Amino acid sequence: MSTTVTTSAKRLNYLNVDHGMKSWLLTKDHKRIAILYLISLSFFFLIGGLMAVFIRIELATPAGDLVEPDTYNRLFTMHGVLMIFLFLIPGVPAVLGNFLIPIMIGAKDLAFPKLNLASWYVFNAGGLFMIWAMLHGGVDTGWTFYTPYSTAFTDTHVIATALGAFIAGFASIMTGLNFIVTIHRMRAPGLTWFRLPLFVWAHYATALIQVLGTPVVAITILLVAAERLLGIGIFDPALGGDPVLFQHLFWFYSHPAVYIMILPAMGVISELITAFARKRIFGYKFVAFSSVAIAVLGFLVWGHHMFVSSQSVYAGILFSVLSMLVAVPSAVKTFNWTATLYQGSISWQTPMIYALGFLGLFVIGGLTGTMLATLGIDIHVHDTYFVVAHFHYIMVGGAIMAYLGGLHFWWPKMTGRMYPVFWSKISAGLVFFGFNLTFFPQFILGYLGMPRRYHAYPEEFQVLNVLSSAGATILGLGYLIPIIYFIWSMRYGERAPANPWGAYGLEWEIPSPPTTYNFEETPVVTREAYDYTGIEEKSVA
């Protein structure tokens, strides 16, 4: 026990307790696994981003002059596949959730540390399948693998890519299972459900979706592979099957998957807003239960992806109404965050800039979502850039803003170092501005009728497309700057104190970076979450 006490000049923590590749690759420490995930995710994010670069360069001119149409199909497919399965779905849970959930609930580790490490290996194995497929010509079905094109017509690497998604899906199940058991069974004494940070509630709701949804897409992918490989008919109409059944099974997972991406992001925002408004969240229980409500409702709305694919009009009406209901818990969250800001003592630190950016972008993404849930409007803008802009506002403007905000908030805890404040604020501004410039014109383009997934377009759309490509350049710069200063900070950054923001939470009561087992003694929790009375305000700037 005495080795962890801070008497020696060099305090032992989870980073310096052990050295060498082996100590990392065989680690069972949830914090080290979070770092491993961070490295993998950054890698896949950069490759997926590279695809987007080619897409935006191609679309800068109306003619299809940079790549062949077939190549373009592969570019947007691989962009979607990599970003969704290998970045957004693991995203916040695998990096921030892995690092923080045991600490936030006062535990030494997750309930199943070996399973946690296994999930990282499984995830990378899935990623390797996809990268292999990409290097051997890629896949051109779109990330949705719609049948019968994917099983009977395309000659690209559907099976390798889909199996990659299948394998990575198991990593997602493992993470979700681990979180559910950990949150149920490992909470510190006194930490009741309604004293949990909302970050933990959001991850609990996310884990429910991961556990209930992912197996369905897994079996669906196996059936697609069997149909393509063995020629046995489940979905192919030529073999007596029904392609719409594929769409039902696929979206039964893949719509809830959107909430796998956004719910943990919402958990991050609850932490950031309270920390930088220095206030207890407005309506704790409403925010907590709205996460669960989104998770439950999320399973009842998949049909809104099929308004124009032969679904009955009555089913369409039902799915339309249910989809709009999702707006209720989402609005509860948004209004409660805003109400938390009211009369708060707001400080403009970098994570807060991301959080406020999230609020603005998520509102636009969410409201256009209810527009798309309206049957009549959807038929007009279906498969246009309006849809593309909508889901990028949720996934990039929502999930990635929160991911970056969370990374900037907990970076001092994860690495024990501060990053340059000036550059981080510049890059947060660039991300917000660049994002809007990239995707807002796409709403207009879609409304005017520009279809998605084409490499060429009529000349009257060029001005808006050039604006979008220019915005993408700024956005890309905004993503590159943090990568540089985060790496720089690990060596040269100022040393971080235990609680650099003056924030409330168990993670801020232990040293930065934490020791391997987080707490020397299991903490006893006696206060409500976000109880900011009596916590000293600090300023880093």
Partner 1 sequence: MPDPSSGHAFGLAHQFDDYEQQREASYLGVWVFLVTEILFFGGLFTAYIVYRSQFPFAFAMGSHELDITLGSINTAVLIGSSLTMAMAVWATQTGRRRSIVAYILATILLGGVFLGIKVVEYTAKFEHHLFPGPNFHWQGSDPAHVEMFFNLYFAMTGLHALHMVIGIGILLVIAVLAWRGSFSPQNHNLVEGIGLYWHFVDIVWIFLFPLLYLLGRNIQS
Report the residue from 522, 528, 531, 537 that binds partner 1 according to the rule CB under 8 A: 522
Q: Which stretch binds partner 1 (CB under 8 A): 105-113, 122-130, 153-161, 531-539?
A: 105-113
Q: Which of 236, 120, 106, 201 is nearest to 167 (CA)?
A: 120
CA distance 225 to 210: 22
Biggest CA–CA distance in the chain, Å, is 74
By CB under 8 A, tell whether 3 contacts partner 1. Answer: yes
The piece of 69-77, 156-164, 212-220, 344-352 that touches partner 1 (CB under 8 A) is 212-220
Could you tell me the smallest distance in angstroms from the CB atom of residue 517 to partner 1? 7
The nearer residue to partner 1, 156 or 214, going by C-beta atoms, is: 214
CA atoms within 13 A on the CB side of 293: 18
**Nearest 10 degrees: Cα torsion 29, 502, 530, 175:** -20
What's the min distance (Å) between Cβ of 295 and partner 1? 14
Is position 180 an interface residue for partner 1 (rule: CB under 8 A)? yes
517 binds partner 1 (CB under 8 A): yes
Compute the residue count for the chain.
Answer: 541
Distances (CA, A) of 29 to 32, 286, 410: 5, 33, 17
CA distance 187 to 210: 21
| Phi, psi for 138 (deg, rounded to 5) | 75, -160
* Least distance CB 136 / partner 1 (angstroms): 26
Our finding on whether 150 is near partner 1 (CB under 8 A) is no
Query: Count of H helices and E strands in the chain?
Result: 18, 0
Contact 80, 481 (CB under 8 A): no
Candidate list 122, 209, 216, 399; residue touching partner 1; CB under 8 A? 216
- Interface with partner 1 (CB under 8 A), residue total 49
Q: Which of 84, 88, 94, 109 binds partner 1 (CB under 8 A)?
A: 109
| Of the candidates 497, 511, 500, the residue with the CA atom closest to the CA atom of residue 537 | 500
Task: Name every residue whose Cβ is closer than 8 Å to that of residue 370 and which is 6 or more positions away in sequence.
Answer: 323, 324, 327
Among 117, 162, 163, 223, binds partner 1 (CB under 8 A): 223
Name the minimum Å distance from CB 415 to partner 1.
Answer: 20
Whole-number minimum distance, CB 179 to partner 1, in Å?
A: 10
Of these, 41, 202, 212, 273, which contacts partner 1 (CB under 8 A)?
A: 212
Distance of alpha carbon 237 from alpha carbon 124, whole angstroms: 35
Nearest distance in Å: CB 353, partner 1: 36
Least separation, in Å, of the C-beta of 355 and partner 1?
Answer: 31
Is position 175 an interface residue for partner 1 (rule: CB under 8 A)? Answer: no
Q: Which of 24, 54, 108, 488 binds partner 1 (CB under 8 A)?
A: 108
Place of tokens 């997926």: 48
Indicate whether 122 belongs to the interface with partner 1 (CB under 8 A).
no
Helix (H) or strand (E) holding 265: helix 243-277
**Partners of 451 in the beta sheet?**
384
Would you count residue 331 as binding partner 1 (CB under 8 A)? no
| End-to-end Cα separation, the chain, in angstroms | 36
Based on the shown chain and the rule CB under 8 A, indicate whether residue 219 belongs to the binding site for partner 1. yes
Stretch that binds partner 1, among 49-57, 152-160, 216-224, 334-342 (CB under 8 A): 216-224
Sequence-distant (≥ 6) Cβ neighbours of residue 318 within 8 angstroms? 303
Residue for token digits 């916590």?
Answer: 535
Contact status, residue 251 vs residue 305, Cβ threshold 8 Å: yes
Among 82, 88, 104, 110, binds partner 1 (CB under 8 A): 110
The interface region with partner 1, picked from 110-118, 444-452, 475-483, 504-512 by CB under 8 A, is 110-118
Q: Taking CB under 8 A as the rule, does residue 18 contact partner 1?
A: yes
Interface segment toward partner 1; rule CB under 8 A; list 32-40, 233-241, 429-437, 454-462: 233-241
Handedness of CA 472, 478, 482, 488 (dihedral sign): positive
Q: Is 220 in the site for partner 1 (CB under 8 A)?
A: yes
> Which C-beta is closer to partner 1: that of 64 or that of 233?
233
The minimum distance between CB 102 and partner 1, in angstroms, equals 8
Q: Could you say whether residue 181 binds partner 1 (CB under 8 A)? A: yes
Asked if 215 interacts with partner 1 (CB under 8 A), we say yes
Which residue of 77, 161, 175, 214 would you call a contact of partner 1, by CB under 8 A?
214
Using CA atoms, how far apart are residues 112 and 173, in angstroms rounded to an integer? 13
Helix (H, G, I), strand (E, B) or coil at 108: coil
Half-sphere exposure of 218 (CA within 13 A, CB side): 15
Q: Which residues bind partner 1 (CB under 8 A)?
A: 1, 3-4, 12, 17-18, 102, 107-113, 173, 177, 180-182, 184-186, 211-216, 218-220, 223, 226, 230-234, 239-242, 245, 248-249, 515-517, 522
